[in-house]
Structure 1
Amino acid sequence: MNDALVLVTGGTGFIAQHCMLALLNGGYRVRTTIRTASREMEVRRYLKAGGVEAGDRLSFVIADLGADEGWAEAVAGCTYVMHGASPTPSGSYASEEDWIRPAVDGNLRVLRAARDAGVKRVVLTSAFGAIGAGHAASHRRPFDETDWSDLTGNVAPYQKSKTLSEKAAWDFIAREGKGLELSAVNPVAVLGPVLGPDYSHSIKIVENLLGNWTGCPKIYSCFVDVRDVADLHLRAMTHPAAHGERFFATSGEGMWLADVAKVLRRRMGAVGKRATTRVLPNWFVRLASRRNPRLKGLVPMLGVDMSATGKKAMRLLGWSPRSPEEAIVATAESLVGLGIVKR
């Protein structure tokens, strides 16, 4: 058991909550940031749904990535920081700058506070969007950790924010880190057990397949279970080989969304039979995106091979993730269990 104190930023986040579960189960003490005190009980409720009564091993600090207040208090006494709080596609941001500036400034604010507090290592939650976006079809596949998204290509604001904010973090460490260590975890589409109604945008794929979509956009993606993403964060936090490295969090081969629907139909009984395997033509999705803003983010991914490999994390850190099928089923079961998807 390890009694070190770990700061996890953005405690209301899906990945952050599973990281807290993994840390608390591992004996660590956890501090997390929230923007309003009223959300503390909500976070504790989510962790309880995940099987952990945190008690006094979990503490809270009010802090916002857009301001300096609270961050010195948040990192005080911490050995490690897991930083994943960032704008996501669920946010109502008006312009590209509204995505990028908070992500870049937020990373630098956390890193500066961690360095000044004598934190040993920060694990940054980055994304596939910092690696595999904007590339030409001729670019080699699968993507690996040596790749960076090509911002001259067709890149969504979220992907651009993830790319520029991760690069800013590595630049900060090189120029003024003063011994602060950094590792990055870059998840692909994150699935797995939902703890409550506040969850990641990737979960919407399974939710939509189980009732909202009349067909599957032609998207080919890799998937990973959030519990394995949390496990990789812990390994990146403590393993000597993780210092200065980035790691793809991805499990197995990529899948077309129609293949995800086939898993749901095979494994989820009557609920799964709602999932359609019909593939929507790309032109139809592009046309529909003009009327439905939620579809706009899918357009740059239509027909794109987003294969990625997690072999580096497996080789260096001994990471052993669940299969994509297990992650898909766990997602669906939790959505049904919470009543988000009706039986």
Structure 2
Amino acid sequence: MTGHRLPRSGARGQPRSAGRRHRVAVLITDGFIPFELGIPHRILGTARTQDSHEPLYEVITCTTREARLVRSDSDVSVLVDHGPDVIESADTVVVPAVAERGPAFTSGVVAPDMASALGRIRPGTRIVSICTGAFQLAGMGLLDDRPATTHWHYTDLMRELHPRVRIDPDVLYVDDGDMLTSAGVAAGVDLCLHLVRRDHGPAVARDVARRTVVPPHRDGGQAQYIQRPVPDARGPGTAATRAWILRRLDRPPTLAEMAAHAAMSVRTFTRRFREETGESPGQWLIRERVDAARQYLEDTDLAVERIAARCGFGTAQSLRAHMQAALDVTPTQYRRTFRTVA
């Protein structure tokens, strides 16, 4: 698992029309989320050449129909001066998130005005989505048989509506050459910084990150931001046993002990457990131990060795290996990002 997925060999390449700045069309429609709209303007729009400080991108907001007032998902509306014709001359088209509404989220079908606008994209144009903007691309079939990501909360819905999309719920963004998708919300910042780094090198990307007061590169993926519910001990099946295990993570039980607690045979327990959680008992236990370690890293100053013992890993080396495998970050990196300051 990595925090981002880079393009296949030979899939790079920066679309650009000769004689002008790289033109970025940011396509919004009613229900857009203001934060995501601002990301390409703030990141791409402030990228400058290092010698003459000339803008490197021309970022233009457009909407799916003629110039009009476009309502966001909050009490903010934006008067957009450009209609979808801008897309026809764009080198990159960015589709930010839209609030969960409309056919893209209910039936996987793109609304007619959005479909018409996206249909104006020229062959070879780079296409980017931020957060749930990926549902618009998937609804057009643009992500079929390609790796992609979106906000972790919506990955199951993406799989249900678009089974051909190779969705990755763990990474911050996926770069598949001419098609790039980001995870939820602020992951759009990571993706746009990646675009600057890919197009113009790390020095320019670092300069944009410094002026935006964000890290030029974030460790890990969005798996580290997911919170999972605690099982209800009163629930049916294996729920009571799962709750029991969570109370004694420093002494993780064997599979036979788990089955005995649930008053089932090992075979029945294993089958029921997978039916209820989607994981084997061993996979679930490791994930829960990692989640417990995350909580200690966020809320306490305990040494990594003590956290490893409390969560049943035994050694700091074992904890580091499991966190690296699950979250693509070390305990130290995770604590640096999430440590609660009193």
State the TM-score, normalizing by the size of structure 2: 0.30
* Structure possessing the higher relative contact order (Cα contacts under 8 Å, 6 or more residues apart): 1
